[in-house]
Chains A and B, each alone.
Chain A
Amino acid sequence: MRHFLVFMFLVFAGLFGALFLKNSRDPNKDSRPILKIYASSSFIKQWGPGPWLKEKFESTCDCKVEYNDAADSVLLMQKLKSENRGGGADLVLGFDQYDLEMAQKGIEWKPIKIESLNFYEPVRATLSRTHFIPYDWGVLAFLVRQSEVKELPKSFDDLLMPEFAGQISLQDPRTSSPGLQFLLWLISVKGEEEAFQFLKKFNAQVKSYGANWSMSYGLFQKNQVKSTLSWVTSPVFHLLEEKNSDIVAVEFKEGHPIQFEYVGIPATCKNCDLAEKFVKLLLSKEGQKVIMEKNFMFPVIQGVRDGTVFESIPNYKLMDMNVIPTIAERERILKKWTQLRRAE
């Protein structure tokens, strides 16, 4: 009996394997061109804007859209470099402004022609980079539950209040982009020396510097902390999905940093025309609405928010984002931050 069971198992396993091989090699599977897009996992998942954009694009382009999960920017760069040998991505989504320097090292990008659209003012300033076009943006802020705090903090100094002692979760700037942006935000507001003096006191308020956004936000979601760093659009998720209006993003009088998410077309693209058409879809009113509603980020085009829940989000005072520190400068600041933490 044992022989029979092993034999049947081997036959079915072999058949399974043969089917896999057949499906991955079948050249007649689809003769349409395949637009290969690298995007972040939140973009391409079922709940992200990716599936809608794919369906919409495939209905008009006579092509197939294939998404590849880019995970974080470093992994994305390595995958692009390794795949470039054999012809890789046609389009890349998800770089933020801090990734652009690394993105331009070792990989050539095509300039993208876009029509003159009604961009938001802060977005217009970034359009000088013709190789990378923003397709959404977010404003970073601290989130709190209104029912838990006596008074909403209005500045960094308010976060030093006793009620926030050990009640803030942040992301580690060495391992997470929002974490790095918090550090640069603080330096931009207070100046470097004062910022690090402030951090000496502020770190006592921080319960955890998580490795990534999901870890720090998870603590906030599970009521382990009263405040966390996220985007001003995050409360919209809780409002729509959980019918919870308690969570709000607090406005700081010093202003808030912006994170842009960019799209780029590598010079080694095979379907460059299709890639440009996809960029047009991303920047269309329909595409922007889906990105806004599924990504929970602001659209780059004006008029898309009208009549939606996102319209009710107040206009936060924004900081000037024209000066982006170089990699070397960031390393220097992070080293200083690490020294500060060593002394705790």
Chain B
Amino acid sequence: MFAAFIESVKYVGHLIPLAFLRVFLGYYYLQQALVKFHGDFLNRPRLAAQIAEVLPTVDASYWYKSLVEKLLIQHWQGLAFFILGIEFAIAISYLLGYVVRPVAILGALLAFNMMILTGPQYEDLYRVFFAMHLAMAWVGAGRCLGFDYYFFKRRRGIWW
């Protein structure tokens, strides 16, 4: 498996720049997740309050707003735990280059929702994240300098 890690440079070397972007994103998400873990992200409903403030101004369908209000804001601790978990998953996945495609799709979904729910000041940032995750998923960025190459060689398929 480790041999495949190095071997990937030889066979999918054209993805090296994207691998660097992937690792950088992974590190960024790890930093953000650790700050949230050590801080009071899970103890105080800051995100929920922010969403509640922005929600009335959001141009989204009724069922979406209703779902956010009744489910996500009410159970803000579960939401916070879930988001933290996803961020850690993205961080570890991107750093190792393992199951990058499905995690990138998850990341794109997260970024998309955050883009809608966190207000105009963060909209551009999350739009960029959304695009980067999509790019990671499209290209299969885990194949270069990542463990995905090992599975890509042996199993092929849409997920590697």
Contact = CB atoms under 8 A, between A and B. Distances in A.
Interface of A: 1, 3-4, 7-8, 11-12, 14-15, 18-19, 22
B93 A15 contact: no
Size band of the interface chain B makes with A:
10 to 19
B40 to A, nearest CB: 12
B95 interface: no
11 contacts: A1-B159, A3-B98, A3-B99, A4-B103, A7-B89, A7-B98, A7-B103, A14-B88, A15-B81, A15-B84, A19-B37
B102 interface: yes
Given A1-B102, A3-B151, A19 B42 contact: yes
Nearest to A6: B99
Contacts of A11: 85, 88-89, 92
A37 B92 CA distance: 43
B151 to A, nearest CB: 7
A14 B88 CA distance: 10
A15 to B, nearest CB: 5
Interface of B: 37, 42, 81, 84-85, 88-89, 92-93, 98-99, 102-103, 151, 159
Given A3-B159, A7-B99, A19-B37, 11 more contacts: A1-B159, A4-B102, A7-B89, A8-B89, A11-B89, A12-B89, A15-B37, A15-B81, A18-B37, A19-B42, A22-B37
A97 B54 CA distance: 64
A3 B99 CA distance: 7
A12 B92 CA distance: 12
Contacts of B103: 4, 7
Contacts of B85: 8, 11-12, 15
Contacts of B84: 15
- Which of B42, B89, B98, B159 has the most A CB atoms < 10 Å from its CB? B89
B73 to A, nearest CB: 21
Given A1-B159, A3-B151, A7-B93, A15 B99 contact: no
Contacts of A18: 37
Nearest to B33: A15
For A15, A18, A22, which residue has the most chain B Cβ atoms within 10 angstroms? A15
Contacts of A19: 37, 42, 81
Nearest to B82: A12
A11 B83 CA distance: 12
Contacts of A4: 99, 102-103, 159
Nearest to A2: B159
A30 to B, nearest CB: 13
Nearest to B106: A8
Contacts of B42: 19
A15 B88 contact: yes
B83 to A, nearest CB: 11
Contacts of A12: 85, 89
Contacts of A3: 98-99, 151, 159
A331 B151 CA distance: 70
B84 to A, nearest CB: 7
B35 to A, nearest CB: 14
Give 8 nearest A-B pairs by CB, closest first: A4-B102, A11-B89, A4-B99, A12-B85, A7-B99, A15-B85, A3-B99, A11-B88
Nearest to A22: B37
Nearest to A18: B37
Contacts of B151: 3
Contacts of A1: 102, 159
Nearest to B147: A3
Nearest to B151: A3
Nearest to A19: B42
A7 B104 CA distance: 13
Contacts of A15: 37, 81, 84-85, 88
Contacts of B81: 15, 19
A199 to B, nearest CB: 58
Contacts of B37: 15, 18-19, 22
